[in-house]
Amino acid sequence: MQLFLPRHYTTLFLVQVLLFFITAPSSQAAYLQNNQVIINVTYANDTSTAYIIHVVNHQKHTISQKYSWMGDSPGRYNLQAYSIDNGPVIPISRASDGNFTLDLLTDSNHSVVFIAKHQFEMSLQGTSNAIFSPASPTNDNWFDAGSDVQFVVPYVISSDKEYTRQQLDGWSLDNSDINVISRQESDTFRSPVIHMSEMHKIDLEYKTQYYINVISNFGRALGTGWYNSGTIVDITALPGNDILVNHIFSGWQGPVIGNINQESTEILADSPKVLVANWSADYTNISIIAIIIIAAIVLLTIYQKRKTYSKQD
């Protein structure tokens, strides 16, 4: 048996179905809106672009924020604190890279403000042994804008190679003229105060040095010490005070570039070197003295014998 509905009931049913499909999306959107909160993230002094986060109500949401980021101006910005819903400023432990995470309970809308410091880099070329005073707040070579910094470096840096080292000779700031540094055998060099109002580049000039050892088994030898690579070094052997044995200079043992048989000559400091002054001994004086003594003994013996014979006669 077939069921027939009046025409006006059929029309009403179709209209209700159509209204359901039309109103369903807006009802769903209203439902979602009532179950969401908004987190508004901004940056003090507009150090980065603000943004909005939509999250589900009554859940925990984690904001991940870089510790450092580049801006429109030279340098970078480094996160130092934050504030939630216009509350107190909360400082954080600063870092040069990586992400800082902030957990929020989404029980209501929130406003988060990140506060950052403008920083400039001090790049330093020529050694890896430098330290900064005061140290960077981010434990690298970036410093807060407006701060005053000094770098401290050793005068002498030892080498893995024996009798070879690096000697500080000068430094420059931002490719300006070289500031010559007086030679020191130990301790550290502290630079003048550098104001961090822009990016800075420090160039350190270290020169390779070699140890030249001049040895003499008699008298004195001059020229032992540290010399810059490529230096022409004067070396000299000085005779001592001869009394019985005369010492005669017989030449240099080692790679000299001057006359090997002269007491004063030159060498090239292109590597560590050992130079030995050789001397030969002349025993002529001892021989003469020995002959004189022997002759005196002989004459004295003859004299004594003649004296004895004279008494017997």
Closest to 130 (Cα-Cα) out of 195, 188, 193, 199: 188
pLDDT value at residue 283: 60
Per the DSSP assignment, residues forming a β-bridge with 133 are 150
Q: Tell me: the pLDDT tens digits for 204-225? A: 999 999 999 999 988 899 999 9
Per the DSSP assignment, residues forming a β-bridge with 253 are 276
Does 89 share its domain with 165? no
pLDDT value at residue 233: 97
In whole angstroms, give the CA distance from residue 277 to residue 256: 11
Determine, yes or no, domain membership for 107: yes
Q: Tell me: the pLDDT tens digits for 281-302? A: 766 555 566 667 776 776 777 7
pLDDT value at residue 312: 61
Does 166 share its domain with 242? no
CA contacts within 13 A on the Cβ side of 187: 6
The bridge status of strand 148-154 relative to strand 110-125 is unpaired
Cis bond upstream, residue 88 (ω within 30): no
Q: pTM for this one?
A: 0.72
Q: Where are the alpha helices (DSSP H) in the chain?
A: 7-34, 284-312
DSSP 302: H
Determine, yes or no, domain membership for 260: yes
Does 225 share its domain with 154? no
pLDDT value at residue 110: 96
Does 105 share its domain with 52? yes
Lowest mean pLDDT among 18-27, 109-118, 164-173, 304-313: 18-27
Determine, yes or no, domain membership for 44: yes
Among residues 119, 150, 170, which one ends one of the domains? 119
Determine, yes or no, domain membership for 27: no
Per the DSSP assignment, residues forming a β-bridge with 142 are 121
Determine, yes or no, domain membership for 192: yes
Residues 6+ apart with CB under 8 A from 28: none
User: SS3 sequence, 213-258?
Assistant: EEEECCCEEECCEEEECCEEEEEEEECCCCCCCEEEEEEEECCCCC
Among residues 88, 119, 150, which one ends one of the domains? 119
| Mean model confidence pLDDT for the chain | 86
Does 132 share its domain with 185? yes
Does 143 share its domain with 202? yes
Residue 289 φ/ψ, nearest 5 degrees: -65, -40
Does 110 share its domain with 139? no
Does 125 share its domain with 108? no
Does 187 share its domain with 237? no
Determine, yes or no, domain membership for 18: no
In whole angstroms, give the CA distance from residue 262 to residue 234: 12
Look up the domain containing 195 and give its range: 121-206
Does 145 share its domain with 178? yes
Closest to 281 (Cα-Cα) out of 312, 250, 251, 307: 250
Does 104 share its domain with 147? no
Does 105 share its domain with 162? no
Residue 256 has pLDDT above 50, yes or no: yes
Cis bond upstream, residue 6 (ω within 30): no
Q: Tell me: the pLDDT tens digits for 76-118? A: 999 999 999 999 999 999 999 999 999 999 999 999 999 999 9
For 4, 37, 62, 260, 264, the CA distances from 214, given in Å and listed in that order, are 127, 83, 71, 14, 12
Determine, yes or no, domain membership for 309: no
| Angle at 113 (CA atoms; ends 108, 115), nearest 5 degrees | 160
The number of domains in the chain is: 3
Burial status of residue 265 (CB atoms within 10 A of its CB: 0-12, 13-18, 19 or more): buried
SS3 call for 98: coil
Determine, yes or no, domain membership for 56: yes
Among residues 206, 235, 266, which one ends one of the domains? 206
